[in-house]
Structure 1
Amino acid sequence: MTQAPTPTADTVRRLVRSLLKEGEGSGPDVRPATGGAEPDTWWVGARHVLRLAPDREAAVRRRRELRLRDLVRPYVPVAVPTSVAHGEWAPGLPYTLDTRVPGGSGEHHDVSAVGEADLAALLTGLREVPVRQAEALGVPRAAPRSLESLRKAADRAAGRLAAADEFDPARLAQLTQAAAAQLGAQPGTAVLVHRGLTAGHLVVSADGRVRGVLGWTDAALGDPAEDIAGLALAVGSPAAVRAATLAGYGARPCLRGLWLARCDAIVHLAEGLTGRSAVPLPLLRTRLRHAWEAILLERVTELREDGADDADDAP
């Protein structure tokens, strides 16, 4: 397979100069994006961001993302990036030049109580996106993860974190084998799931409002608890569970999302300590702290078998 060229500042500058009809001077200010964005993402001046697909697999996702964003936009109350130009920057490799969503990264701004309502409306909107229309765009289905398998992986990782004085494994004992089984994904609950609701993909204003959501390439039809888990890692478990509850999710998906996040955070930090993660250790530690913030609905073994999905059961 032909090796894709490595984009440089000059490559990007020439491309955006033609797209933005710039003159032949120095061209627009371009610089690689940071803060968790993909390495093929570039800021272009103060108003645009250029995203380049680095390979054929990413090309399929980027083309699908353009169509998916148009489908999602009427259903969610926050901004979704808008493409002002798209094409190919190398043979078979697409680009999209998007308008930059005003606001800061969720890594630098806390989400306020009103921002939690924004997140609730986001989760509600994702649930309302027609599944058949998303499938018609090529959005894949993602099978629910086994919480029991993740629990075992987290248990092993917790021992390594204990040896590094990073985590007390006794805290994981709250998630028993029986509780993990009880919190299995329910059949027939697949919705459009963003699957990347990291703090870096949340655009948050100085007053704590959530103004936009970026990074739709990994969206799938699947378990809504995955997005609850993503928010727990990004903004903290209490805020994530409150947002999910406002969105109409009951105790079971809220607790499932909580424990997905907690187990993921343990496993990922253990990987980070051994150099097997590209995510910086401070961010992995922040995600662990967020996921393990206490919520009111902690006693998973007392969930009723009947009616556990009722919204009244959630905090």
Structure 2
Amino acid sequence: MTQAPTPTADTVRRLVRTLLKESADSTSGPDVRPVAEGGEHSTWWVGTRHVLRLAPDRDAAARQRRELRLRDLVRPHVPVTVPVSVAHGEWAPGLTYTLDTKVPGGTGEEHDVSAVGEADLSGLLTGLRQVPVRQAETLGVPRVAPRSLEALRRMAVRAAERLGAADEFDSALILQLTPAAAAQLAAQPGTAVLVHHNLRGEHLVVSADGRVRGILDWTGVVVGDPAEDIAGLVLAVGSGAAVRAATLAGYGARPCLRGLWLARCDTVVRLMNRLDGHDTGSLPLLRTQLRRAWEAILLERATEFRDEETETGEEL
């Protein structure tokens, strides 16, 4: 298989000079610089108004092509900005690019989300439930089965014991999730919705006043378990804010607590993997996410599950 070329500043500059040749930019082209945040795309700032994303392989190119159509489908349903592509095509044979308008603001790691920002997140979750699943699937959005919380719990118990020995975590906390509780928090039939599936802090565009102005990177969207997006928000903005946003969006105790425990177990497992050298994630960020996920919330103490509780959606 042919090795994909490595994009350089000169590669990007030549491409954007062509794309923006009819703009008011100077003949030398706008300033270009790589975006520091990680991701599967090679991402570059282009001047002050645009972001260029280059798919590094053919699988990523296929997801990027789907993303362009999917963003148009999602945009009318959500109250936050979904990026708009002003140009797209191929930057190398079979490898796509999209030049997007920059959404003003910082990331969820730079700014705290305010109470009004929680309402923005609630509107996002509400809107994703309203996107017609059948239409999304016709665009190629895959349907993904829900994860087993019990299997994840067992992994987290082992990881928590090792983190406790390393003085990184109170391993007794994981015992709050018993096998019986994990069974009660299994995903319920008929709850599949469109799921962003990557609501990390770096993909939340947050203004200085705490409003959520936009959501980035729609390449990983699936039809599946809405608790995964609740879990993502737990890691991005904390347990309390995430659960309040999900509750305001109409989700009951079961999906909220399922999302909470997915996030908690994930943080324990990922931190242990990082300490073992099997993960390249930022150690300070993983520790911050662990702290966010393990914030105590009242819902944990005030919930009795009813077998008949379900959420509106498609079958998982």
TM range (shorter): over 0.9
Task: Tell me which residue corresponds to 2:163.
Answer: 161
In structure 2, distance between residues paired with 1:253 and 1:32:
38
Give, in angstroms, the shift of residue 162 of structure 1: 1.1
Question: Mind listing any 5+ residue stretches in structure 2 that lack a counterpart?
Answer: none
Deviation at 1:119, TM superposition (A): 0.2
Q: 3-state DSSP class of the match of 1:238?
A: helix
Deviations along 1:16-58, whole A, 9 cap, x unmatched? Answer: 0000117785421111101334450111111100001100111
Give 1:243's aligned residue.
245
Distance in 2 separating the partners of 1:303 and 1:146: 21
AA matched with 2:222: A
Q: Deviations over 1:69-122 (max 9, x none)?
A: 000000000000000000000000110000000111111000000000000000
Write the distance in 2 (CA, Å) between the matches of 1:278 and 1:48: 28
Decide whether the 8 Å contact of 1:251 with 1:308 is kept in 2.
no
TM-score normalised by L of structure 1: 0.95
Determine the structure 2 residue equivalent to 1:128: 130
| TM norm structure 2 | 0.95
| One-letter identity of the residue aligned with 1:112 | S
What are the equivalent positions in structure 2 for 1:103-118 lying under 5 Å apart?
Answer: 103-118=105-120
Partner of residue 304, structure 1? 305
Counterparts of 2:214 and 2:305, CA distance in 1: 36
Corresponding residue number in structure 2 for 1:196: 198
What is the match of residue 177 of structure 2? 175
Matching of residues 2-13 of structure 1 within 5 Å: 2-13=2-13
Equivalent position to 1:145, from 134, 144, 147: 147
Is the partner of 1:5 in helix, strand or coil?
coil
Contact preservation (8 Å) 1:249, 1:309: no
Partner residue in 2 for 1:268: 270
Could you tell me whether the CA contact under 8 Å between 1:251 and 1:309 is conserved in 2? no
Check the 8 A contact 1:185/1:253 in 2, yes or no. Answer: yes
1:139-162 deviation per Cα after TM superposition (whole angstroms, max 9, x unaligned): 000100000000001011112211
2:74 — aligned with what?
72
Q: Is the 8 A contact 1:30 1:44 kept in 2?
A: yes
Quick one: structure 1 residues 143 and 306, their matched pair in 2 at CA, closer, same or farther if it must change by over 3 Å? closer
User: Which stretch shows the higher mean deviation, 3-12 or 37-46?
Assistant: 37-46
Cα distance in 1, alignment partners of residues 166 and 51 from structure 2: 40
Equivalent of 1:98 in 100, 104, 118: 100
2:19 corresponds to which residue? 19
Q: Which amino acid aligns with 1:50?
A: L
Contact conserved, 1:84 with 1:99, CA < 8 A, in 2?
yes
Task: Indicate conservation of the 8 Å contact 2:105/2:205, yes or no.
Answer: yes
Q: Tell me, in whole angstroms, the C-alpha distance in 2 between the residues paired with 1:304 and 1:87.
A: 50
Q: Return structure 1 stretches of 4+ with deviation > 2 angstroms.
A: 22-27, 35-39, 302-311
Amino acid at match of 1:224: P
Q: Find the aligned partners of 2:282 and 2:17 in 1 and give their Cα distance.
A: 34
Give the CA deviation at 1:251: 0.5
Question: What secondary structure, in the 3-state scheme, does the structure 1 residue paired with 2:144 have?
Answer: coil
Shift of 1:274: 1.7
Counterpart-to-counterpart distance in 2, 1:30 and 1:278: 26
Whole-Å separation in 2 of the counterparts to 1:270 and 1:189: 31
Residue 85 of structure 2 aligns to which amino acid in structure 1?
S
- Cα distance in 1, alignment partners of residues 225 and 110 from structure 2: 28
Q: Does 151-160 or 291-300 show the bigger shift?
A: 291-300
Separation (CA, whole Å) in 2 of partners of 1:204 and 1:304: 34
Q: Tell me what 1:282 maps to.
A: 284
Taking the aligned partners of 1:35 and 1:93, their CA distance within structure 2 comes to 21
Whole-Å separation in 1 of the counterparts to 2:221 and 2:192 = 12
> Matched residues in 2 for 1:282 and 1:132: separation?
40
Would you say how many aligned residue pairs link Structure 1 and Structure 2? 310
- In structure 2, do the counterparts of structure 1 residues 232 and 146 end up closer, same or farther at CA, with 3 Å as the change threshold? same
Mapped partners of 1:208, 1:180: distance in 2: 34
Structure 1: tracts of 5 or more residues without a match: none
Q: Check conservation: 2:41, 2:53, Cα contact below 8 A.
A: no
Task: Choose the corresponding residue for 1:255, options 247, 254, 257.
Answer: 257
Match of 2:214 among 212, 222, 226: 212
Q: Relative to structure 1, is the Cα distance of residues 310 and 76 closer, same or farther in structure 2, using a 3 angstrom cutoff?
A: closer
Cα distance in structure 1, aligned partners of 2:140 and 2:41: 25
